Structure 1
Amino acid sequence: MKKRSMAVMAAFALAAAGCSGGSGGANPSSGGAKPADSAPAKTEAPAKQVTLSYALWDKNQVPAMEEIIKKFKEKQPNIDVKIELTPSGKEYWQKMETAAIGGTLPDVLWMNGPNIVKYASNGMLMAIGDQVKASGLDLKNYPESLVNLYTVGGKLYGIPKDFDTVGMWYNKKMFDEAGVKYPDGNWDWNAVVEAAKKLTNPGKGVWGIAADMNSQEAYYNTIIQAGGGVISDDKKKSGYDSPEAIAGLKFWTDLIHVHKVSPTLAQMTDTTPIKLFESGKVAMLWAGSWNAIEFAKNEFTKDKVDVAALPKQKQQGVVIHGLANVISAKTKNPKEAWTFVSFLGSKEAAEILAKTGTVIPAFNGTQTTWVKSTPQFNLQVYIDMLSYSKPYPVSKDTSKWNNLETEYFKKAWTGELKIEDAAKQVATKMNEFLAQEK
């Protein structure tokens, strides 16, 4: 027991910080049974009054989750659910790491791609395959890629909650004033750069685009568009030393250092790119579908912005990912926790997520409701991009090479290191880590 405890502590000392993780490929909107034809999961009312803890990190999703919990409470009056909100994804994973080491994970929690293998393989999560089979819950109701993502060692650990892609948001007012046509989904990288040049006004502290050092919302997508990849399909080799990956990274650093149409990394550290966009200081921002609700609520952006599909280069490309709800292996109320998770995976819960515009629900057939929830934005582009989406890159110990990305790419974003050199150094060290994975 002592040796296992030390091993678990060592593994979790390297836990990743991130808001989202990876998906498992394939088109999430296709396949599966029609929601209307599937029977709801069978649940039994618990005999005792219990309170479950439910951990999440996005404040924008709290109202929808509270509404879902209210509906759940109507069906299961003996189960109370207490939301444990952490302000950011980074803080969330730091908190979960500490809780995992101490054996005090919340009863139910959000899980992402980069962390599922680590938590599942270290015995921190409850396998739910038997519960799914006994309840009658139909896994065909969810994108197969997400079900596969949360299956580790042949065992299912999570019920898909949502999925997301990335779009290019733009300020219509700024575009109109600069006489620039709106992006229409047919832009390439050159079009983005040329538009950004026209939209940049150094004297007013206004930039055409924010070159955020963000993997999921920025350079993972351009690497795909350049024809490259972050990691090989067999998870044994880094793709960062390929010309395509370097081109995808260089697109972003050039926006800062060559074209000078983006704030510097230091400026984006002082004021986040999303805040710069929401204050009219940045005209274009690549952002995940989960940000739609943020922009709809913000007084500045709610009627001034819209979203288009990402530009293409050698090919079209976008990263897809999705979260799942999982159960702690050490919950004192496994039966009640499963009852709650199965409801979170129901069509009823998905419709609440969709109609409130919170996120794109994973339950097949409910995505159109999400698109219609915020009619002033062209949210359909997030769904349309699924046809050429690629899974968020992960491996067993994703956090190890995620840390390398942060360490070396930061030097390239600040101009301290050439992006070519940074990418090759990451690839070398990443390959060493991948060789150690089993």
Structure 2
Amino acid sequence: MQINNFSYKKPELIAPAGDLEKLRTVIEYGADAVYVGGEGFNLRMGAPGLTLPEITEATTWLHGQRKKIYIALNIFARNYHVSGIRPYLKKLAEIPVDAVIVSDPGIFLLVREIAPHIPIHLSTQANTTNLKSVEFWHQQGVKRVILARELTLGEIKEITGNSCTETEVFVHGAMCMSYSGRCLLSSFMANRHANLGDCSHSCRWQYVLKEEKRPNETYPIVEDESGTFILSSKDLCMIQHIPELVHAGVAAWKIEGRMKSQYYVAAVTRVYREALDRYFADPHGYVYDPKWLSELEKVSHREYGTGFFFGNQGYKSQTTHPGNSYIKEYDYLGMINNVLSDDVAEVLVKNRILGNTSIEVMGRRLSEDFTQVLLDIKNEYHESIETAHVGQKVLIKMSRPVHKYFMLRKCG
């Protein structure tokens, strides 16, 4: 596509997948590629990643869908990681994954040594903030650089337009109060190492100011009735700035959230998919749809902001909500596991479902959404029930046609 004599390629939309179920779901909801954690060597210890057999299964399935898979090996390694990752890389080298994501130069060298045929993407954790750094990594053989989240759109465009290396940026999800996530709060306060994937999110805790000679007196810094949370960053949300992102020229847009729910990754992915497709279908006639932000507000999130894309926002980049709580107005009730007839679907229950309740059905596209009242819920024995519990598979009469992977939600 060419706009104002500058050619723009449609960016790849990359979604997180903490397990195989989420992986298949985000593809159904419009992702072009997924990124998953490699066991023990990624920055999400709470989501340990896919096993090697699971990566093999996922890669085969994704390639059959003409989609891609990227494996995150982006820890800052200690010596014991280096010895442990060698046999892992030898086995990973046998799987035709599309790239590995690394941040540590040592891990980078091991990938080049053991699996030189696997493309390497440089993690945002490497905090690449200038063109010369991108040139350096290009000379080392890096195919794509995931730029630091501290960059502005202008800086991103300058880097991308003057480099032959692909660039990628995060467009949605949690932000870190520390430079490119290099935080020591968790290590000091909870003995959990953020750069080894075990962050305790100490920045989301509530803090007060104390004076050395008055240990029993505390002073709030910025406060409401819930306390103070000066270190807690707003979540990134760029849905209102699709044209600006396109004009930056990056090869790929990434959604954060390997530890988020299946509902979260599906709901966010489909919104960016629709916005991106609409822009490239008619860039000159493109109009932002307020419904997109409304949909993104239906997932659990902190206050939204634009990160550093439009410059340092200072205190405006920090949330005014309690550090450990999210804005959560909707409950994810379940996912359609099978369609048995035109009006009966089998639902895998994720949260308690009550009969005679008004719910929303979320389709793979926003145009497929509808609202209905649950008048007829049956268990696996086709017996009518009033309440469905987590883990159950129940039969629900639907008021409109549905498909597998559609989801049920309810305003809390």
How does the TM-score come out when normalised to structure 1? Answer: 0.24
State which structure, 1 or 2, has the greater radius of gyration over its C-alpha atoms: 2
